Amino acid sequence: MESRTARFMIRFGSVVALLFLYIPLVIVVLYAFNNSIGQKWPISSFTTKYFGLAWRSPDLREALINSLMIASVATLLALLLGSAAAFAVHRYRFFGRNSVSLMLVLPITLPGIVTAIALNSSFNTFGISLGLMTIMIGHATFCIVVVYNNVIARLRRTPTSFVEASQDLGADGWQTFRYVTFPAIRTALVAGALLAFALSFDEIIVTNFVAGTQLTIPKFIFNNLRQPRNRPIVNVVAVVAMVVMIVPVIIAQRLAGGAQAVGATRGGDVATPAEPAGGP
Amino acid sequence: MGSVTAERTRGSVSMRVSRFFFRHPHGRLGVLLGGPLAWFLIVYFGSLFVLFLSAFWGVDVFTSEIVRNWGFQNFKTLWETDVYRTIALRTIGLAAAVTITDIVLAFPLAYYAARMATPRRRNMILVAVIVPLWANYLVRVFSWKLILSPTGLLNWTVETLGIGSLQIANSGWAIWLTFSYLWLPFTLLPIYGALERISPSFLEASGDLGARGWMTFRRVVFPLIIPGIVAGSIFSFSLTLGDYIVPSLVGNTKFIGNVIYDNVGVANNVPFAAAYALVPVAVMAIYLLIAKRLGAFEAL
């Protein structure tokens, strides 16, 4: 269909786009092993000493513990609220039903700074002091949609006849949930949770506005990026943060994909994250 | 024996509960929807409402305390100060430039994945596009700082090739490039989705009717993928409007986000920041309305 020139152009453009996507990631990995404090290319000598240095930094430990705690709580909240919303929209017809997904997706479609300053000014107005709890609240707000998207996509693919059959066989609501619905959506829940976790672990735009003096990994990177002396540590943290994020996402992708083979529709459960968190 | 009885009693209690909910579906709906709805009403819409209100407040010049003297003073400052108008227009211009760049960059790869690649390769490409999206936002910004620095990869490449030197660190070009990089996957996925949904028979029909490649693209493919393009552009546009990290790390120009950030942090003038934050909200509201008209929500 396409002419030979068109096909060539498309292939060429595809390679350009893929290189554009991956060169920066490769660069970050290489620089983590850079021996010199000056960030000159090409890298002249390699070392792993900054990994040890980063590991022993108390600030960084604090940031890591905070980030893990925040991401866990935000994920838990998102799981509860996101799957509840998904069930409600999937099972019932009610006024405003079509607006639920629009509502949930707003925190990641409106510019991140808006969510950030809105939360900031309302916490201040009501005298809630900024800290771990306010970060968790902020993160949960934009993580909900990730869980919701995954669960509702799965529910839509699970035939309702399963639930009806279970009821016909005399199961009560809880048993139906435990033995029929839950197994069907289990991997979607895990995928949603992993993505929500990654989203929270990555967030900086909103976090900066609701964190007060608390450190998180992205805040640590942000604060130290402009100090040339700390660059080597930032390089190391960058690679570790990248791995911490990519691994759960690949697992999530697998989980959603595995179900995909069974499900009727194509197209992954794993929706695009929205923003960097809200983020960005 | 005892445990069996206990099992039965519990069963009957839970049976009663499920019967109640079966007869009162709205009770169950309330339980399910109550949590998320309350969370959004209180935390999110509540905050947006406070933001909206505080845009009409002021700040005491001496104490830096927020004073609730209602009025349009912040909007007046915004409108009458050239700098803020310029910054708003500059931000919108940048968002548009980034969006267009991403559409152009995304199209070939999206087309290749949707219509030319084998299923196996298509999956690989999709994963390859999604992974960078999750590879830590700040790290990806940071990497451009490394690449674009005067001693970085880009300038080294240009100098090694003997073309001279390319100094775009801390410039508008750096900001544009970094944003285009960050949001490319967001733009690509909906375009891919739209391309994939085009039935091959449309293209065959177009060919049978005598249209060559370019004509088919312009008259058949392009109109069909507009919703996908617009859906993708919502992200690149909105995310650029609301970002203050990239300009502060790889550039030295101020955008809407930076003004807001500075006013909350350094200047401590939250009401003014709130008023300024309503600018991207208004822009996005208009954008989303147009996007809805163009059918972008179905392509999200």
Task: List chain B pLDDT tens, one digit each, 300 residues.
Answer: 444 444 455 557 777 777 777 777 777 888 888 999 999 999 999 999 999 998 998 887 777 777 878 888 888 888 888 999 999 999 999 999 999 999 999 999 999 999 899 988 998 898 888 888 777 888 899 899 989 988 889 988 888 888 877 888 888 999 999 999 999 998 998 999 899 889 889 888 988 898 888 888 889 999 999 999 998 898 899 999 989 999 999 998 999 999 999 988 777 788 999 999 999 999 999 998 898 888 777 766
- Are B92 and B241 contacting, i.e. CB atoms less than 8 angstroms apart? yes
The residues pairing with B59 across neighbouring beta strands, listed in sequence order, are: B66
Which residues fall within 8 angstroms of residue B59, CB to CB, at 6 or more apart?
B65, B66, B67, B268, B269, B270, B271, B272
Distance of residue B293 Cα from the nearest chain A Cα, in angstroms: 15
The residues pairing with B24 across neighbouring beta strands, listed in sequence order, are: none
Chain B residue with the nearest C-alpha to that of A42: B153
Put simply, the chain A residues between 98 and 137 with a CB less than 8 A from any chain B CB are: 100, 102-107, 109-115, 117-122, 124-125, 137
Share of chain A above pLDDT 90, in %: 35
Task: Indicate the SS3 state at residue A12.
Answer: helix
Predicted local distance difference test score (pLDDT) of residue B300: 64
Does the beta-carbon distance from A14 to B108 stay under 8 Å?
yes
Chain B residues lying within 8 Å of A280, measured CB to CB = 137, 182, 239, 242-243, 245-246
Predicted local distance difference test score (pLDDT) of residue A70: 97
Predicted local distance difference test score (pLDDT) of residue A263: 27
Chain B residues lying within 8 Å of A202, measured CB to CB = 134, 136-138
pTM here is: 0.85
Does the beta-carbon distance from A81 to B36 stay under 8 Å?
yes
Strand B66-67 versus strand B58-59 pairing type: antiparallel
C-alpha to C-alpha distances, A225 to A22, A137, A220, B68, B245, nearest whole angstrom:
21, 27, 8, 38, 11
Pick from A9, A140, A250: CB nearest B108: A9
Q: How confident is the model at residue A245 (pLDDT cuts 50, 70, 90)?
A: confident
- This model of the complex carries an ipTM of 0.83
Is B136 part of the contact surface with chain A (CB cutoff 8 Å)?
Answer: yes
- Are A151 and A189 contacting, i.e. CB atoms less than 8 angstroms apart? yes
Distance of residue A176 Cα from the nearest chain B Cα, in angstroms: 10
Interface with A, mutate which of B22, B66, B139 (most A CBs under 10 A)? B139
C-alpha to C-alpha distances, B14 to B28, B99, B157, nearest whole angstrom:
14, 54, 70
Predicted local distance difference test score (pLDDT) of residue B19: 72
Q: Packing angle between helix B222-241 and helix B82-111, nearest 10 degrees?
A: 140
Predicted local distance difference test score (pLDDT) of residue A1: 53
Distance of residue B82 Cα from the nearest chain A Cα, in angstroms: 22
Residue B170 has φ and ψ, to the nearest 5°, of: 55, 35
Predicted local distance difference test score (pLDDT) of residue B299: 66
Cα–Cα distance measured from residue A131 to residue A115, given in angstroms and rounded to the nearest whole number: 17
Put simply, the chain A residues between 142 and 181 with a CB less than 8 A from any chain B CB are: 144, 172-175
Does the beta-carbon distance from A28 to B249 stay under 8 Å?
no
How large is the average pLDDT for residues A131-141?
95
Pick from B109, B181, B239: CB nearest A280: B239
Distance of residue B185 Cα from the nearest chain A Cα, in angstroms: 9
What DSSP line would sit under A173-233, residue for residue? HHHHIIIIIHHHHHHHHHHHHHHHHHHHHH--TTHHHH-TT---HHHHHHHHHT-GGGHHH
Does the beta-carbon distance from A111 to B188 stay under 8 Å?
no
What are A256-265's pLDDT values in tens digits?
754 333 222 2
Predicted local distance difference test score (pLDDT) of residue B25: 72
Asked if the bond preceding B150 is cis, omega within 30° of 0, the reply is no
Chain B residues lying within 8 Å of A24, measured CB to CB = 140, 143-144, 147, 181
Does the beta-carbon distance from A41 to B138 stay under 8 Å?
no
Predicted local distance difference test score (pLDDT) of residue B31: 85
Does the beta-carbon distance from B136 to A245 stay under 8 Å?
yes
Chain B residue with the nearest C-alpha to that of A280: B243
Cα–Cα distance measured from residue B162 to residue A20, given in angstroms and rounded to the nearest whole number: 22
A–B CB contacts, 8 A cutoff, strictly below: 297
Task: Indicate the SS3 state at residue A276.
Answer: strand
The least confident of A107-111, A268-272, B121-125, B289-293 is A268-272
Q: Assess whether pLDDT exceeds 70 at residue A274.
A: no
Cα–Cα distance measured from residue A272 to residue A253, given in angstroms and rounded to the nearest whole number: 11
C-alpha to C-alpha distances, A19 to B140, B150, B176, B257, nearest whole angstrom:
14, 21, 18, 29
Does the beta-carbon distance from A115 to B44 stay under 8 Å?
yes
Chain A residue with the nearest C-alpha to that of B101: A17
Does the beta-carbon distance from B36 to A82 stay under 8 Å?
yes
What are B62-116's pLDDT values in tens digits?
777 778 788 888 888 888 889 999 999 999 999 999 999 999 999 999 999 998 9
